[in-house]
Amino acid sequence: MVGHHRSHEPLFTGAVSKSGLHTFSSYWPDGSRQCHTQGNADVRLADRLAAAFRGWEQAAEALDQSRESEEVQAVGMRCREALLAFVRSVSNPDMVPAGEDKPQVSNFVRWSELLAEKIAQGPKNERIRGYLKALAKESWQLVSWLTHATNATRHDGMIALDATHTILEAFGAALIRYERQPPERCERCGSLQVTPLYRPELQSDGAICQSCGWEKLPNEEPDAPAANSDP
């Protein structure tokens, strides 16, 4: 059941990127869900992860319709399928270290470890890499538990659903940073308020500073740093 307006706050909220849109799902204390949508200019990642996010949305719809524990258990299964769809869409055999056998397609934990090592490389990303690995392992164990939890409640399903979404968003953000390498600071004013900018007409990436308006176009040489006005 899709939730209607309540006078009190929702239990928790989540978001899902789907076909270039962000769909925000608010859960009310009675377990109902309310959705809101806003646009997203760069649909490339959404296209690649369409199957995973579609699986997440199907899990959310199944939770909305659940009335018994068996139906909540099925939500766990749909979450598992969404996570497997995710690793299938972003992993490749080149991620497997030399001398190691290629993990089975169903080995989500190992594939997520290999993906984290690829997209969050180096000492600088040690904490991010560790977080992604721990998040993936614990969330996979959670949704797997739910599929066998004979006394599962809708709140259990909500937590599993939220954990699944968090994996898609966290790994998605790390994947964007790895693949597109956006500048972390404005090359003109040094601000951190730099937003990646996709130019669909050029099929390439740039960036724009929300502080000074500086824009880096695809294949453009970096601007020289701002001159120091101090004597």
Q: Which domain holds residue 118?
A: 12-180
Both 190 and 143 in a single domain?
A: no
Of 156, 180, 204, the one marking the end of a domain is: 180
Secondary structure of residue 212 in the 3-state scheme = coil
Both 205 and 98 in a single domain?
A: no
- Give 41-81 as a DSSP string: S--HHHHHTHHHHHHHHHHHHHHHH--SHHHHHHHHHHHHH
Both 126 and 143 in a single domain?
A: yes
Both 130 and 174 in a single domain?
A: yes
Residue 4 lies in a domain: no
- In degrees and rounded to multiples of 5, residue 183 shows phi and psi of -65, 140
Total tally of structural domains belonging to the chain = 2
**Residue 218, pLDDT score:** 62
- Count of C-beta atoms within a 10 Å radius of residue 21: 14
**Residue 80, pLDDT score:** 98
**Residue 109, pLDDT score:** 98
| Alpha-carbon torsion (162, 49, 128, 15), positive or negative | negative
Residue 26 lies in a domain: yes
pLDDT per residue rounded down to tens, the chain (231 residues): 333 333 333 333 333 333 333 344 444 444 444 443 333 345 667 788 899 999 999 999 999 999 999 999 999 999 999 999 999 999 999 999 999 999 999 999 999 999 999 999 999 999 999 999 999 999 999 999 999 999 999 999 999 999 999 999 999 989 988 888 778 888 889 898 887 777 666 667 778 888 898 888 765 554 444 444 343
Both 227 and 114 in a single domain?
A: no
For residues 35 and 10, is the Cβ–Cβ distance under 8 A? no
Both 173 and 191 in a single domain?
A: no
**Residue 13, pLDDT score:** 34
**Residue 33, pLDDT score:** 45
Both 57 and 120 in a single domain?
A: yes
Question: Using CA atoms, how far apart are residues 85 and 218, in angstroms rounded to an integer?
Answer: 31
- In degrees and rounded to multiples of 5, residue 38 shows phi and psi of -140, 160
Both 190 and 231 in a single domain?
A: yes
Of 155, 180, 205, the one marking the end of a domain is: 180
Both 173 and 201 in a single domain?
A: no
